[in-house]
Structure 1
Amino acid sequence: MELSGGVGMMDRRAFLRVAGLAGAGSVLASCSSPGPVVPGAPGTTSSLPPPVTTTTTGPPPPPNWDSLRARISGTVLLPGDAEFDKARLAFNPLTDARKPAALVRCKSKEDVQVCVGVAAESKIPIAARGGGHSYAGYSTPEGGVQVDLSELKQIQVRPDGTVRIGAGARLADVYTELAKAGRCLPAGSCPTVGIAGLTLGGGIGVLARKFGLTCDRLDAATVVAADGGVLEASGAKETDLFWALRGGGGGNFGIVTEFLFSTFPAPNLAVFTLRFPAGSVANVLGAWQQWIASAPPELWSSFVVAGAARAPACHISGCYVGAVGDLTGLLAQLNVRPSSRVVQEKDYLQGMRFFAGGGQRESFVASSRMLPGPADPAKIAQLMTGRPGVDLLIDSLGGAVADIGPSDTAFPHRKAFASAQIYGKTDAAGAARATTQVAEIRDAMSEFTGVTGYVNYIDPAMPDWANAYYGANLPRLQQVAKAVDPGKVFGFAQAVPR
């Protein structure tokens, strides 16, 4: 494998020696694990050689956190340190019980390299945290090293229209800096979501039908690999890894420290919200699906059903790349009458903020399905009846998303009609009930979605999750994972199987 920059040209042992992490007889993650002890023969005769005495290596040494502190420019926080309990928390409070052995705030890719060396040498879990929005809390590795990338948040818009973005940057800051330069990048809506996790899982957003997924705009990525080397992945080098980084899911192939994206001139937008009364879901969903299927790619829309004890309500929101007058004409073709309507003209930054929400910590359980075509409106209405507190969010796809082949990037759902997120707001006391309800909706939807799911809505209880997330792209993803991380340094419960 081609290694570019940093310690990428060193072999594994040389890297660990420079980092001060390897000694004589160290067990390296890239090597095979020691085999079982071979017992000596129970007896010998003059015709047999003497028994072979074997020496066992024993378990890897625990991490030397003081040594780690001395070798990085960032900060190491351990349990008992004043900031640790707050700093380790992710977006979803339901994951608060997960505790890493250490949290490291990295200030450079070299800091990340040292962290990877520590985890590989000590054989403890390691995970990067950008925005901390992993639905299952996988960015907080229990008993492992949490690599906090929040200091790697630089955003540099270049004269050629590309933008370099550190892996710790969050969408609110990305949108703000791009807008200052008159540029845009299709991405998600929650302002505290990190650019890294969003991109690596694909990147569905409100501009996707016009400009594609976030990963479609990725030109290159800087990756710290499992052996401590630095890889520059692009369409010209490390091409298999570059393919996998575009939709193969965060945490699988290394730790990305920087992204290079191509951008577009920032457009003017028109946004809208239409609300409908309880009991109207089946009628409105039927009309919406017919409407969005024939809409131009400039129009993106989301259909949201709010579960209720008796009669669910719904609303439609959306974004149009163009003028309000053109949007108004399209809305007139939607053959249902809302109880309230908001249509507004926005510039790019205002439009992104319109969909942003609060971005504050929120307890929830969630899952997903990908719709190959329109769903049965009556069945959706029935599924959401008796489900107060659970929302179903159906986001339209098509347009530029479908212009790329399903195997051209790791994101396999190119021909999907829409993504469906099943989202249950809850507290700890209600988590078990919400989990059951979300699972019931997810499993019932498989009747018309098949085994599908979106890895950025990662669900620890998703049946047949690897095929659901990656489909026909799974075998190639497994090959890439084996090539770049044979020792499973970046393993977690739903890592791409090696």
Structure 2
Amino acid sequence: MAIGRRAFLQAAGLGVTAAAVAACAPGGSPGPVSSTTSATPTTTTRPPAVPADWNKLRGQLAGKLVLPQDDGYATAKLAYNPLFDSRNPAAVAQVANPSDVQACVAQAYASRIPIAARSGGHSYTGYSTPDSGLVVDLGAMKDVQVAPDGTATIGAGARLMDVYAALADAGRCLPAGSCPTVGIGGLTLGGGVGVLTTKYGLTCDKLVSAQIVTGDGKLRTVSKQQEPDLFWALRGGGGGNFGIVTSFTFQTEEAPQLTVFQLQFPGGSVADVLGGWQQFIGSAPDELWTTMAISGGNPPTCHITGCFVGTQGGLTPLLNNLISATGTQPTNRYSLSKSYLDAMKWFGGCASYSNAQCTPSWNGNGVLKRESFTATSRVLSKPLSDTGKFAELMTGRNGMDVLLDSIGGAAARVGATDTAFPHRGALATAQIYQGSTAASARTAVSEVRDNLGSVIGDGAYVNYIDQSLPDWGTAYYGPNVARLRKVGQQYDPDGVLSFAQSVTKA
């Protein structure tokens, strides 16, 4: 992702204002596009554009079309980050079913207006559409149905709190992000790094099938057997590139007992703690997931938060080994055993809230607020040889945080080209976050991004999409970029869903 990291860090016992969207959050060569794909390319002989007919579209929808002059538009257009409040899309379609989505895509095709899907609204770029565009808000399509065989079919508008609560009721779990208001759609399509990644894999690794409306307006069901190339692309190829997904079907796991923990370290110990942490996670058991947060300052500070699939008794020796690897005694150490649902609420800053409260306040009935921030990412492709450089980079940068989310274990045992998510051999994603939207924040975040790139590699996580990222196609997709481009051209040859960083432009 991409998470509500401020809530995440507060839940872990810190009152700092660190973070962002969703944790949501390598190697090999691209394979050829499979000859078994059943789709045929849509004609690129597109008729001349006609003016958008909003009255016609309104009449076609079972949901609601909201225009700038309508009551509720000011709320309907809002994304998670107030940075994008100046965006004024031409219309927001609050869709109710796949047919509504098809009608929206048909309108975009006919009138050549930009179109973008919105699941949770946490995208780092807000909308991919300018003021003339159509936002397809999937928020009403949020049902979660769990079958006796453990598969769960989830509407593309469901937020993670919806997902976690429904799965917990059925005794099941899904590896996903730590922010309760993130949408399942964007998280899954970009890969899905989260607190159970090392044990169960990325969110996209649990995907069995999906329903998607492609750029030609067709509703398709994709899986390993049906439209296999498109199914491959949807597992890490980024949201909005190939169509608008309306529902996902996942294979879930039995909900485990979890133990959450935090280690707070003294100021000035970043280089030592980072060195020990990166050494430790390379051989840590799958049951242990960790994230290391480094906060800028004089000196920088750090803490490690995580989740263990098991009891406190099993966690204690692992934490002892981690502390030993850092050579630094923490100033604070604690751990708490929790159920799956309670652990997810703890990570999301919702430990004291009901499930209903742990939902958005800006377009729902919950208590969770929006957050202003500027953010980007890198990928820690290998251990740093000189962790002191990282510490130096964060010196004096008050208000900035870099969060390193580990992605080894089960996620690393999938090949870099088996799905579109390429960062399989990496140690962690690096989320660079500043709790400000000022121009100076953008400059600072980009500076750290570029300096980190020279130290840890130039990869980046597409769920932290960044319009100013150099060589973004290779950064997001690595060896998979060429195959993704072919899939994008096949399923949306007319560029109906095109945006600044579409895979067809990589």
- Is 1:332 the equivalent of 2:320? yes
- Paired position in structure 2 for 1:120: 109
- Is 1:354 the equivalent of 2:346? yes
User: What amino acid does structure 2 have at the position aligned with 1:73?
Assistant: A
Alpha-carbon contact 1:324-1:344 (below 8 Å) kept: yes
Structure 1 unaligned spans of 5+: 4-10, 13-28, 35-58
SS across alignment from 1:374? coil
Structure 2 unaligned spans of 5+: 1-36, 351-367
- Is 1:393 the equivalent of 2:406? no
Counterpart among 482, 488, 495 of residue 495 in structure 2: 488
Alpha-carbon contact 1:243-1:409 (below 8 Å) kept: yes
* Inter-partner Cα distance in structure 1 for 2:273 and 2:387: 8
- Paired position in structure 1 for 2:355: none
The offset of 1:141, in angstroms, is: 4.5
Give 1:261-300 correspondences, 5 Å limit. 261-300=250-289
* Inter-partner Cα distance in structure 2 for 1:215 and 1:492: 23
The offset of 1:453, in angstroms, is: 0.2
* Inter-partner Cα distance in structure 2 for 1:321 and 1:453: 28
The offset of 1:325, in angstroms, is: 0.7
- Is 1:316 the equivalent of 2:308? no
Counterpart among 127, 135, 138 of residue 146 in structure 1: 135
- Paired position in structure 1 for 2:45: 32
- Paired position in structure 2 for 1:474: 481
Counterpart among 180, 184, 191 of residue 191 in structure 1: 180
- Paired position in structure 1 for 2:99: 110
Q: 1:56-93: per-residue Cα shift (whole Å, max 9, x none)? A: xxx62211111111111110100111101111010011
Counterpart among 201, 205, 219 of residue 216 in structure 1: 205
TM-score (normalised: structure 2):
0.86
Q: 1:344-372: per-residue Cα shift (whole Å, max 9, x none)? A: 10110011111113652111111111112
- Paired position in structure 2 for 1:420: 430
- Paired position in structure 1 for 2:337: 345
Amino-acid identity (%): 55
Change (3 A) 1:85 1:140: farther
User: What amino acid does structure 1 have at the position aligned with 2:454?
Assistant: E
SS across alignment from 2:460? coil
* Inter-partner Cα distance in structure 1 for 2:504 and 2:218: 22
User: What amino acid does structure 2 have at the position aligned with 1:232?
Assistant: T
- Paired position in structure 1 for 2:387: 377
Q: Which has the larger radius of gyration?
A: 1
- Paired position in structure 1 for 2:363: none
User: What amino acid does structure 2 have at the position aligned with 1:491?
Assistant: S
* Inter-partner Cα distance in structure 1 for 2:186 and 2:124: 11
- Paired position in structure 2 for 1:446: 453
Give 1:33-52 correspondences, 5 Å limit. 33=46
The offset of 1:30, in angstroms, is: 4.2
User: What amino acid does structure 2 have at the position aligned with 1:331?
Assistant: L
Alpha-carbon contact 1:127-1:141 (below 8 Å) kept: no
Greater shift, 83-92 or 209-218, is seen at 83-92
Higher RCO, 1 vs 2 (CA within 8 Å, ≥6 residues apart): 2
Alpha-carbon contact 1:88-1:140 (below 8 Å) kept: no
- Is 1:98 the equivalent of 2:92? no
Change (3 A) 1:139 1:165: farther
Give 1:171-182 correspondences, 5 Å limit. 171-182=160-171
Alpha-carbon contact 1:226-1:484 (below 8 Å) kept: yes
* Inter-partner Cα distance in structure 1 for 2:249 and 2:380: 31
The offset of 1:449, in angstroms, is: 2.5
Alpha-carbon contact 2:381-2:459 (below 8 Å) kept: no
- Is 1:225 the equivalent of 2:214? yes
- Paired position in structure 2 for 1:18: none
User: What amino acid does structure 2 have at the position aligned with 1:32?
Assistant: T
SS across alignment from 1:497? helix
Greater shift, 169-178 or 363-372, is seen at 363-372
* Inter-partner Cα distance in structure 2 for 1:371 and 1:313: 19
Q: 1:229-284: per-residue Cα shift (whole Å, max 9, x none)? A: 11110010100000000000000000000000000000001110111122111121
Q: 1:260-313: per-residue Cα shift (whole Å, max 9, x none)? A: 0000000001110111122111121112222222211110001101111x2111
Greater shift, 467-476 or 141-150, is seen at 141-150
Alpha-carbon contact 2:405-2:429 (below 8 Å) kept: yes
How large is the RMSD of aligned CA atoms in angstroms? 1.5
- Paired position in structure 1 for 2:67: 78
Alpha-carbon contact 1:130-1:150 (below 8 Å) kept: yes
Alpha-carbon contact 1:371-1:448 (below 8 Å) kept: no
Change (3 A) 1:256 1:147: same
Q: 1:126-183: per-residue Cα shift (whole Å, max 9, x none)? A: 0110000110113555311100101100100100100000000000110000000000
Alpha-carbon contact 1:267-1:322 (below 8 Å) kept: yes
Greater shift, 290-299 or 344-353, is seen at 290-299
* Inter-partner Cα distance in structure 2 for 1:82 and 1:442: 41
* Inter-partner Cα distance in structure 2 for 1:31 and 1:392: 44
Alpha-carbon contact 2:129-2:499 (below 8 Å) kept: no
SS across alignment from 1:169? coil
TM-score (normalised: structure 1):
0.88
The offset of 1:450, in angstroms, is: 2.2
* Inter-partner Cα distance in structure 2 for 1:276 and 1:244: 41
- Is 1:407 the equivalent of 2:396? no
